[in-house]
Amino acid sequence: LPTFKLTIAYDGTDFVGWQRQANGSSVQELLEAALADLAGGHVAVHGAGRTDAGVHAIGQVASCTIERNLAAATMARALNARLPPAVRIMSADEAPATFHARFAARSKMYRYRVWTSDALDPFERAFVWHVPGGLDAAAMALAARQIEGRHDFAAFQAAGSDTRTTEREVFASRLAKSTDALIVYEITGDGFLRHMVRTIVGSLVEIGRGRRDGAWLASVIASRDRSQAGPSAPPQGLFLVHVDY
Amino acid sequence: LPTFKLTIAYDGTDFVGWQRQANGSSVQELLEAALADLAGGHVAVHGAGRTDAGVHAIGQVASCTIERNLAAATMARALNARLPPAVRIMSADEAPATFHARFAARSKMYRYRVWTSDALDPFERAFVWHVPGGLDAAAMALAARQIEGRHDFAAFQAAGSDTRTTEREVFASRLAKSTDALIVYEITGDGFLRHMVRTIVGSLVEIGRGRRDGAWLASVIASRDRSQAGPSAPPQGLFLVHVDY
């Protein structure tokens, strides 16, 4: 039975997120339905990252094993024919039988986009957080680097989460781009707590607005207390860009 | 009474086009409603280009004269507060009382985007024509140049149009970009007939598919017969980019 590694892009606007939910349409559910139609029976799909409602993906990765002998090239086309245009299999590759998209992931890269000029470009409105009035990008860039390294990120985790450990390693945390209109933040790490990226971004924006100074972020990390961090940035600015194996 | 030149961007997906229609929401109607609210009475708005249903604009230009003394800087903000996010005033400038966005326009630039790879990027799906299977971009680029110059473009005009003359001058007609996935076509001219850009693109794609050769386009122009040209490309790939005065 062939095992596949699927690279998936989706516009998260109308979804409840990656993971199956009681209410609303999830990417996982659509993918499992397309695979069931193709394979003639239930197929479990494992995604590398559980993106939240409204979060987008450029390079989500999922694994599945199907009970039908299909070439990888055929797989992508057959799935795309069964998926809505908001979800696309960008590539399908055969993988070793033991491949599991979540457990095998070594690092993930997320991107967050902030629109800072007064008039929000209508073509960007579903893909940015609009923070008009200007941000101090230089201060944000300096603060972003403080996130790098192995830390206990409990202060950035959504309330009510239960994870074994809240320690994660961040390999890179940078402002990838900053123009008059757009600030792009990118973070790569070995794993992320629920809402972690959005709460880091919400905190960086507090600094960019001048409400907090550069030293503040280190004290938030040290506090391990969610109430010390900034508010979570909204989902539509966030993209799961890449998963490394 | 101040006259304004408004530069407007809109995501045309959900509109019946620029111009007021009996059924459905038009950009002109939304703008006139916002201006009426601001000025306390009807304000006529003239747009440079009458974009069709589903066509987008990055730099549509409109003119209006309002019965209230408003600074240009205030104008953009006040209108954006009254418009849906799919329509944004990107800039507002005071203009001479005689300024009319349509009559004063010297040239307009349109862009058309064609997605050619098999899997259509979900973030592009509302902003391209998907033509999978690959196109001969070199043949299209050569043919595109044949559109340049002063011609009678009757063969590219929507059936049932009544215009005084079907002669127009095209200053530039080029493939601005062509990658494995995306072909971008740009055309600048002194004016455009209804569906002219989309029918030119539809004809270029016939050439790109190898269904017609390079000499064909000149014969279509010469025929002045709509039935000789290719089908019109769909609206969602088209953008009114810039109007020159």
CA pair distance A109, A231, nearest whole angstrom: 21
Task: Give residue B151's pLDDT.
Answer: 97
Q: What is the pLDDT of residues A66-83, one digit of tens each?
A: 988 889 889 999 999 999
- Measure A132 CA to nearest chain B CA, in Å: 12
Instruction: Look at strands A107-115 and B87-95 and give their pairing.
Output: unpaired
Pick the residue of A82, A83, A88, A115 with the most B CBs within 10 A to test the interface with B by mutation: A88
SS3 A122: coil
The residues, any chain, with a CB within 8 Å of residue B107's CB and separated by 6 or more, are: B171, B188, B189, B190, B243, B244
Kindly indicate the confidence band of residue A164, based on its pLDDT and cuts at 50, 70 and 90. Answer: confident
**Does the beta-carbon distance from B89 to A121 stay under 8 Å?**
no
The answer to whether the CB atoms of A87 and B122 lie below 8 A apart is yes
In this prediction, residue A149 has a pLDDT band, given cuts at 50, 70 and 90, of very high
Q: Which of A111, A10, A25, A124 is nearest to B122 (CA)?
A: A10
CB half-sphere exposure, B172, CA atoms < 13 A: 11
Q: Which two tokens stand for residue B245?
A: 């005065």
Tens-place pLDDT, residues A26-67? 999 999 999 999 998 999 999 999 999 999 999 999 999 998
- Are A95 and A105 spatial neighbours (Cβ–Cβ below 8 Å)? no
Give me the phi and psi of B206, to 5 degrees please.
Answer: -55, -40
Place A162 in a pLDDT band, splitting at 50, 70 and 90: confident
CA dihedral over A67, A68, A70, A76, signed as positive or negative: negative
How far apart CA B70 and CA B2 sit, in angstroms, is 8
**Which residues on A lie below 8 Å from B120 (Cβ)?**
85, 88
Supply A26's token pair: 């999830």
Q: Which residues contact B40 (CB under 8 A, 6 or more apart)?
A: B67, B68
How confident is the model at residue B204, as a pLDDT? 98
> Which of A244, A241, A245, A234 lies closest to A53, judged by CA?
A234
Tell if the CB–CB gap between A127 and B125 is shorter than 8 Å: no
Residue B52 designated active-site = yes
Task: Tell me the mean pLDDT in the region A82-98.
Answer: 96
ipTM of the complex: 0.92
The string of pLDDT tens digits covering residues A4-13 is 999 999 999 9
From residue B145, give the alpha-carbon distance in Å to each of B14, B152, B156, B181: 33, 16, 16, 22
Residue ranges of E strands in B17-155 = 46-47, 56-65, 87-95, 107-115, 129-130, 149-152
pLDDT attached to residue B214: 84
Q: Measured between CB atoms, which of A56, A90, A120 is closest to B85?
A: A120
- For residue B103, the SS3 value is coil
How close B216 comes to chain A (CA, Å)? 34
Averaged pLDDT, groups of 10, chain B, 245 residues long: 95 96 94 94 94 97 92 93 97 95 97 96 98 95 97 92 90 95 97 97 98 94 95 98 98
- The whole-number pLDDT of residue A1 equals 83
Residue B185 in contact with residue B141, Cβ under 8 Å?
no
- B3 to each of B31, B64, B91, how far by Cα in Å? 15, 6, 14
Position B69 scores a pLDDT of 86
> Of B11, B37, B52, B180, which residue is the catalytic one?
B52
Q: Per the CB < 8 Å rule, is B119 touching A76? A: yes
Matching residue, tokens 């970009």: B177
**One-letter amino acid for residue B139 of the chain:** A
| Residue A206 pLDDT level (bands cut at 50, 70, 90) | very high
Contact B156, B199 (CB under 8 A): yes
Mean pLDDT (whole number) for A139-146 = 97
pLDDT at position A104 is 96
Nearest by Cα to B89 from B79, B101, B103, B104: B79
pLDDT tens profile B46-101: 999 999 999 999 999 999 999 888 898 899 999 999 999 999 999 999 999 999 99
**Contact check, Cβ <8 Å, B56/A123:** yes
Within 8 A by CB and 6+ apart from A127, the residues are A56, A113, A236, A237, A239, B123
Percent of chain A at pLDDT > 70 equals 100
Estimate the crossing angle of helix B196-208 against helix B216-223, to 10 degrees: 150
Q: What are phi and psi of A106, to 5 degrees?
A: -95, -35
What gap in Å lies between CA A107 and CA B184, rounded to an integer? Answer: 35
CA A98 to chain centre: 24
Q: What does the mean pLDDT of chain A come to? A: 95
- Please report residues of A whose CB lies closer than 8 A to that of B121: 9, 88, 90
Q: Which tens digit of pLDDT belongs to each residue from A106-130?
A: 999 999 999 999 999 999 999 999 9
Chain B residue numbers touching A122 (CB-CB < 8 A): 9-11, 85-88
pTM for the whole structure: 0.93
Distance of residue B25 Cα from the nearest chain A Cα, in angstroms = 16
